[in-house]
Amino acid sequence: MLNQFVTFFSGFSWMSDWMANGLSVSLILSGILAAALASYIVMYRLLQQWINRWIQKTKNQWDDAFMKSGVFRRTLRLFPLFIVYIGVERMLVSSGSSLFLSRVIYALVIISVGRIIQALLDSAGLVYQLINMKDRRPITGYLQATTILLYIFVSIFATATVLGKSPWGLFSVLGGLTAVLLLVFKDTILGFVAGVQLGAHDMVRVGDWVEMPKYGADGNVVALTVNTVKIQNWDKTISTIPTYAMISDSFKNWRGMSESGGRRIKRAIYLDMTSIRFVDDAMLSRFREFNLLSTYVTDKQREIDKENKENAIKDDHLVNGRRQTNAGIFRAYLNQYLSTHPLIHDEMTFLIRQLQPTAQGLPIEIYVFSKDIVWSNYETIQSDIFDHIFAILPEFDLRIFQSPCGADFIKCL
């Protein structure tokens, strides 16, 4: 009876061996995790805080970009993973499950390295934005495209590591799925190609004033990525436009205006053509009293009188010979007034011209550039100029054309 009892329990000796092995594995894993936790506390907590304090004391800004993008933080996280990987590979080499566990940990190492590379790409973008370059091209699209390719490679290598397969075999499988990948990443591929063209031809940069009426966008470019271009409109709304639309559709970039240092004023006033006439002596005397016109009127009248005298022109009819008109003297006044204006650019296009008459009167167009390109200041300068022009017109016996209103008919009654 006693022999049978011993024989029965001796059949369960494998259980004690399994429990002993399991206990030893648990102790080893506990020791590995304790060492990893200790390294995490030392590296990630203490060392990172010291690095952050040291970076904040430095004067360069590139190390701030590295800290902001998380390069140091993600690098320090590698040490606990390395400890776990080495411990599992060296101390649990005889265990069947240790091989799979080491593969998983190695895959996590690959993913962590990929995240470090991504942080380096992000920090490169931040450092590039700190560079004060006049012709700085946008590189956000390139960095994002590189990040997408990076994560594709990381995913393939990590998956191949866990499965114990060659990563090149997975690449061949993806090659067979090219059509599906092209469909899935269609917008990304189009955006990347458009970003390359935009950057190569320097068509748009972050900070440019862009106008795209088809998409209701009119404002500053705040972000230029692989898939989208974000434009903050003047009413503070955000318009999101596909990057490839900047190539396939037309848009207006006002960067040239900003870089030129002048902003165009192009506006016409319409004179009532019935108020245009030749000037007489009384009007000439009055015009000579205008500081901006005295020299012009005197010199012009002397030139006209000399030519009429040389050609023996009689003054009995206004149609004979050359004569000054109030519209011509008004244009000369505008030329003198704007050329002496302190806020009008004197090294850019300066033009006071008469356009083709219309049913609304005779257009006198002002085509000049203001020195101040800030929108609010530009509008103030333009408004002040035309306020003065409208107020000064009666001094030249000229009238502005405007359609009749109710008050005009009341006066007639």
Residue 250's pLDDT is 84
Residue 13's pLDDT is 40
Which phi-psi region, left, alpha or beta, contains residue 74 (left: φ > 0; alpha: ψ -120 to 50)? alpha
DSSP H or E stretch at residue 354: strand 351-354
- pLDDT tens-digit map of 241-261: 888 888 888 888 888 777 778
CATH 2.30.30.60 boundaries in the chain: 202-259
Report whether pLDDT(93) > 70: no
pLDDT band for position 105 (50/70/90)? Answer: confident
Residue 18's pLDDT is 38
The answer to whether 124 touches 150, Cβ cutoff 8 Å, is no
| Residue whose pair of structure tokens reads 């490839």 in the numeric block | 244
The three-point CA angle 204-181-242 to 5° equals: 25
Structure tokens at 225: 């990525």
Tell me whether strands 217-224 and 228-233 are parallel, antiparallel or unpaired: antiparallel
Average pLDDT, rounded, for the chain: 78
- pLDDT tens-digit map of 361-400: 999 999 999 998 888 899 999 999 999 999 999 999 999 9
Report whether pLDDT(4) > 50: no
Report whether pLDDT(219) > 80: yes
Structure tokens at 357: 């008459």
Give dist(CA 339, CA 7) in Å, integer.
118
Residue 355's pLDDT is 92
The answer to whether 328 touches 347, Cβ cutoff 8 Å, is no
Who has greater pLDDT, 336 or 107?
Answer: 336
Residue 16's pLDDT is 39
Cα end-to-end span (Å), the chain:
139
Helix ranges (DSSP H) in 58-95: 62-69, 71-76, 78-91
- pLDDT tens-digit map of 61-83: 666 777 777 777 777 777 777 77
- pLDDT tens-digit map of 127-184: 777 766 555 666 766 777 778 788 888 888 888 877 777 777 666 666 656 666 666 6
Give dist(CA 343, CA 373) in Å, integer.
11
Strand partners, 269: 364
Who has greater pLDDT, 203 or 268?
Answer: 268
Contacts of 405 (CB under 8 A, 6+ apart): none
Give me the mean pLDDT over the 206-213 stretch: 86
pLDDT band for position 205 (50/70/90)? Answer: confident
Range with top average pLDDT, 12-21, 44-53, 296-305: 296-305
Residue 364's pLDDT is 94
Residue 19's pLDDT is 39
pLDDT > 90 in the chain, percent: 18
| Residue 220, SS3 per DSSP | strand
Give me the mean pLDDT over the 179-201 stretch: 71
Report whether pLDDT(290) > 80: yes
| Residue 233, SS3 per DSSP | strand
- pLDDT tens-digit map of 313-353: 777 677 777 888 999 999 999 999 999 999 999 888 899 99
CATH top class, domain 202-259? mainly beta
Give the CATH fold of the 263-412 domain: Alpha-Beta Plaits (3.30.70)
Report whether pLDDT(404) > 80: no
CATH 3.30.70.100 boundaries in the chain: 263-412
Who has greater pLDDT, 45 or 97?
Answer: 45
Structure tokens at 349: 């296009």
Give dist(CA 315, CA 177) in Å, integer.
94
Residue 271's pLDDT is 93
Give dist(CA 92, CA 87) in Å, integer.
8
- pLDDT tens-digit map of 108-134: 888 888 888 888 888 877 777 776 655
Report whether pLDDT(28) > 70: no
Long-range contacts of 332-337 (CB under 8 A, 24+ apart): 332/293, 332/296, 332/300, 333/290, 333/292, 333/293, 333/392, 333/396, 334/364, 334/366, 334/389, 336/292, 336/293, 336/296, 337/292, 337/388
